[in-house]
Amino acid sequence: MKTAGQPATHEAVAQIVSQLGTHWLANIYREQILTIRTRSYHFAEVAPTARIEIQHTLLGVELKIGRRRLFCPDLATARYLSVFARVRCNDVAIPYDITQLSCLADELESSWQRMLLLIEHNLAGRAVRARIKGLLIARLRTEIAAAGAGSAIPEFKQSTRQRPPSN
């Protein structure tokens, strides 16, 4: 369905994905997150209308998804998981090494914001922007689910030998 001066919705989705290139959230997930040691994280069903926010409490950082609150060990973990909660993913991989989490959360949030800016900049009309955003989120959810969430428990190296074997 074309409107005056607007490409078809699927063409607009493809155009935004190609403009994002390596910064497309699913590409970051596949190429940077799944290539390192991860563990799987399961969200309970996230309602499409659920509001996602990070809250700082006396007990620490919480990710609030609708009425549900998930305790997070640190702000980087909450930022990382909030991006996937916005996409409404059920299962995602989370890096086991917490030192990498902050940089990955930055990249994921930047990718999300770039996608929203491209929608806002390239498309006219509130209804068209909402439709394209919905299609992009559905595509992200599908690509992330296809990539998988990794194993429930991270893989540990069994060989811990520090010295070479003596002759």
> pLDDT tens digit string along 15-25?
999 999 999 99
Position 3 scores a pLDDT of 47
Q: Angle 75-87/101-122 helices, nearest 10 degrees?
A: 40
N- to C-terminal Cα distance for the chain? Answer: 74
pLDDT band at 1 (very low <50, low <70, confident <90, very high): very low
Q: Angle 126-147/75-87 helices, nearest 10 degrees?
A: 110
Structure tokens at 124: 């006219």
> If you ran DSSP here, which 8-state letter would residue 165 be given?
P
Q: Say how far apart CA 57 and CA 109 lie, in whole Å.
A: 22
- In the three-class reduction of DSSP (H, G, I as helix; E, B as strand; rest coil), residue 136 is classed as helix
Which pTM was predicted? 0.82
Q: Say how far apart CA 108 and CA 39 lie, in whole Å.
A: 18
pLDDT band at 2 (very low <50, low <70, confident <90, very high): very low
Which amino acid appears at position 24 of this protein? W
Q: CB burial class (10 A; 0-12, 13-18, 19+) of residue 38?
A: buried
Task: Taking residues 118-126, report their average pLDDT.
Answer: 84
Is the pLDDT assigned to residue 27 strictly greater than 50? Answer: yes
Of 4-13, 87-96, 122-131, the one with minimum mean pLDDT is 4-13
Structure tokens at 106: 């930055």
Is the pLDDT assigned to residue 144 strictly greater than 90? Answer: yes
CA atoms within 13 A on the CB side of 9: 13
151 touches 39 (CB < 8 A): yes
Question: Which residue, 100, 80, 86, is CA-closest to 133?
Answer: 86
77 touches 108 (CB < 8 A): no
Position 149 scores a pLDDT of 81
